[in-house]
Structure 1
Amino acid sequence: MTMSRGGLVDFEVAFPQGRMTVQQMHEWSGVSIPEILEITHCQEFPVLGPDEQAWELAVDAAATTLDRTGTDPGSISRVIYAGAGYWDAPAWSPAAKVADELGITRAHCFEVTNFCNALTVGMRIAVDGLTPGSDERVLVVAAERFAHAVDRRDPDSKGLFNFGDAASAVLVGGSHHSFAYLGSSARTDPQWCDYFIGDYHDTGVYTRRRGHRKGLSDTYVNNFVTLVGDTLDEIGRKQDDVRFLLINQNDKNIQDRLLTTLDLPPERSVYNHSELGHMGCSDTLIALRRLWDGGALDTGDLVLLATSGAGFSWSVTALEYRAG
């Protein structure tokens, strides 16, 4: 097994009760149902309802994780809240709110924003900051109101119609972890920084595409291929060692192209598109949870998380399964 500085002790994903349906989006936007299904691949998916808060989902996921691992909230040294910055309220710390609700009173609480790439960034910050040789525990959570930042009455925004809501909580530690954190590589292509920009309106923010510049799909695949190679080089492994490559669920075509380019069969990834839309930062953990709960992992399996976020940033994170 590869040596690691720390890893994922446990993690959980929570979903809201609200739902967004293709029929609703069709009625609001005028875009045909077949066109919408080309993007969503499912008839409905979870979004926050009018009485639901993202931070509450984060608390639910975190509470389950802490209870399942028998972790004392007082032992948590940091709470990192990850996302795009679409919090439940402005000028406010959701990380501190989560800590308060969980009884975490001695931690440094702060936020990390890198859009749908933020959770893996938060995990890296958590691992890099662990005190060597200690039993330190760090809580990384991700939850926001991303689905509500899409104007589903705007036909030109149909490429974002699959954006839903979910929350993840990851307990990171220097010992007794189920997934060793081996390393990661990340990069940003600033030429795409203005491709999506939010607009303020009376009740919040809508994210819109600016222009119709071509080439983003190619950029996605090229960056992921490069970062897979960089990450494997960093940890001293080869592509044949990769058991699973888990990818953000924002575009099924990109996932298909990436696997084909890397000569990986579909069964070496997870496709949740028939059940879920793009669940923000939580996509790859939803897929990893499915593999773990389904008994698909063996001790020593190498799993790569390929994540991306508007801006545009990409990263590949290498985990090794240790709990089998």
Structure 2
Amino acid sequence: MILQNLGVAITGSGSALPANCLDNETLSKLVDTSDEWIASRTGIRQRRLANSSQSVSEIASIAAKDAIAMAGISPLDIDLIILATSTADDLFGSACQIQTQIGATNAVAFDLTAACSGFVFGLVTAAQFIRTGVYQNVVLIGGDILSRWVDWQDRSTCVLFGDGAGAVVIQATESDRLLGFEIRSDGTQNNCLNLSYSPESQPLTPGIEVGKGNFKPITMNGKEVYRFAVQRVPEVIDKALFRANITTEQVDWLILHQANQRILDAVAQRLNIPSHKVISNLASYGNTSAASIPIALDEAVRNGQIKTGDTIVASGFGAGLTWGAAIFKWGI
């Protein structure tokens, strides 16, 4: 039954990171780089890497359980699970595995792929189900294990990426805490950042060949991605702020996708948001794709930085190319 229109609130968060830590000094023994080179260009000092037996669904389930516990509800209360990922354990999807692992037997589950914008796109998607009264309790997870898709001899990319998962619980409320959003895509720039299919032929029978299922490692045009981010992200945040009818002065926290400290600094400067309002943890974890915003959010909530009622701007950007922003107040 479709209920009346409802508001949206984010009521719980959680995160999970692999135990293995690869710092810049150790990485410099594997590829021609250095701690100074990496840190000065990216702000990254170390990153967490999943081992060969760990799965996206495993770390995503840990994050989801923590978010559900913070929200004070049961897994049986969950109506919908959205997994934002580009590195599913199963190309057919991993969200259903999470449903089983967390015991959310009443939930429907599906994957959403929008690369590093996945969490913001997932938040907007979840909100539509809630606002129309279809579902009341949604778990949104951003999770990626990018280390499996990195060329560890390519210093332009291998220094950037780490693994992890972050989750939030989104619930129906009388007062809408999702104040505004804007999401965008531009396929003409798709070649700037890829984890693409690698064409290989596999003969079936004389005269008939099919492709063999392999993917190339991550490739990126760093200069173009930087140029895209520092131009498009402030624009999309401005549009979301306009929709929310608030100004940057009313923003308590800016949580950008944790791609590069230079990008974070440039976006904040263009928006005239002071550095003390910018949440950054990429020095410890690197670029964790769809996981980066919810991991940063969860850490800031648990360490007491973000408090109930704080106004947060979250913005993701990345492959596709995709980008988007959401303005919300934390908690009910």
State which drifts further: 222-231 or 70-79: 70-79
Alignment of 1:219-298 (within 5 A): 219-298=228-307
What displacement does 1:10 show?
0.5
What displacement does 1:66 show?
2.2
What displacement does 1:226 show?
1.2
Cα distance in structure 1, aligned partners of 2:230 and 2:306: 26
Q: Choose the corresponding residue for 1:71, options 56, 70, 73.
A: 73
**Partner secondary structure for residue 104 of structure 1:** coil
Q: Choose the corresponding residue for 1:162, options 160, 163, 168.
A: 160
Structure 1 residue 115 corresponds to structure 2 residue 115: yes
Cα distance in structure 1, aligned partners of 2:263 and 2:27: 23
Structure 1 residue 21 corresponds to structure 2 residue 32: no
| 1:147 aligned residue | 147
Cα distance in structure 1, aligned partners of 2:90 and 2:307: 42
Q: Cα 1:135–1:70, aligned 2, differ >3 Å: closer, same or farther?
A: farther
Q: Deviations over 1:25-64 (max 9, x none)?
A: 3232223443233345344221111222121011111122
Cα distance in structure 2, aligned partners of 1:135 and 1:203: 37
Cα distance in structure 2, aligned partners of 1:291 and 1:106: 30
Give the count of matched residue pairs: 314
Structure 1 residue 190 corresponds to structure 2 residue 187: yes
Structure 1 letter corresponding to 2:16: A
Q: Cα 1:292–1:68, aligned 2, differ >3 Å: closer, same or farther?
A: closer
Is the Cα contact below 8 Å between 2:85 and 2:142 reproduced in 1?
Answer: yes
**Partner secondary structure for residue 105 of structure 1:** coil
| 1:9 aligned residue | 11
Q: Cα 1:8–1:134, aligned 2, differ >3 Å: closer, same or farther?
A: same
Q: Deviations over 1:123-159 (max 9, x none)?
A: 111111116568821111122221221112124xx24
Is the Cα contact below 8 Å between 1:82 and 1:122 reproduced in 2?
Answer: yes
Query: Unmatched 5+ residue regions in structure 1?
Result: none
Structure 2 letter corresponding to 1:170: V
Among all aligned residue pairs of Structure 1 and Structure 2, give the percentage whose two residues are the same amino acid.
20
Structure 2 letter corresponding to 1:168: G
Is the Cα contact below 8 Å between 2:249 and 2:273 reproduced in 1?
Answer: no
Structure 1 letter corresponding to 2:219: R
Q: Deviations over 1:171-195 (max 9, x none)?
A: 1110389x92222101122221011
What displacement does 1:164 show?
0.3
What displacement does 1:322 show?
4.1
Q: Choose the corresponding residue for 1:47, options 46, 49, 55.
A: 49
**Partner secondary structure for residue 187 of structure 1:** strand
Q: TM-score if structure 1 supplies the norm length?
A: 0.87
